[in-house]
Homo-oligomer: A and B are copies of this chain.
C-alpha cells in the first residue's frame, strides 16, 4: 500500500500533486457555467467544484480559482448577479472540456466550442441549449477564502429547466435519463451505471432498495 505523509505531498512534483489532490475525493459534479457581461458577450467554462449548500433556501456553492481580477466568469457573475449551471452529456463532454482552454476575453466559448445559447424571459445569463438539466442562479454571497486565495460563490436557484421525464413525482432527478456525465481529477470523464436508491436510514431498520416507479 502507498502512504503519502504531509511532507511527501508537499515535496511531490507539481503536476503529480495537482493530479493526485484533484482526484482524491472521487467523482465530482460536472457542469458548464454560463455567464454574460453587460455588453452581452457571453462566457462558458466547465467546472467540477459546484456543491449543494442547502435546500431551503435552495443554495449552491462553487469555488473559483485565485485569479479574481482576470477571471471573466467571476467578473460577469458580479456584474450581472446571474449565472447558469448546465449538465454535460456524452455527446459533448469533449467540447465541454475544451471550454477550459485559455481563450481571450473578447471571444465566447459558446461559439468557439460549439454550444448554443438559450435564454428565458427575465433572466440575463445564457443557458446551454444542448443540456438536459439547466439551473439559473442569482448571486447571494461572495466569500474570499483567505487560506488559499480562492473565491466561494454562493447562489440561489431561481430557475430549473429540465426535460419532462427527468424530474420524478418525488422530486428525484434521474441523471441516467438525463445522460449526465461525471469527472474525476482534472481530465477523466465517466458515465455512471445505477446500483440502487436506498430508503431513508433509521437506527433500527435495515436499509432497503427503493424500487423504480413508472
Contact = CB atoms under 8 A, between A and B. Distances in A.
Copies in the complex: 2
A100 B201 contact: yes
Contact of A21 (B52, B195, B205): B52
Q: Chain A, interface size: which category?
A: 35 or more
Interface in A17-44: 17-31
A188 B180 contact: no
Given A15-B170, A52-B25, A182 B185 contact: no
B195 A23 contact: no
Contacts of A181: 26, 195
A85 B182 contact: no
A194 B207 CA distance: 29
Nearest to A152: B152
Nearest to A4: B160
Contacts of A205: 101
A21 B167 CA distance: 11
Nearest 6 Cβ contacts at the A-B interface: A23-B173, A19-B171, A190-B192, A16-B171, A20-B171, A27-B182
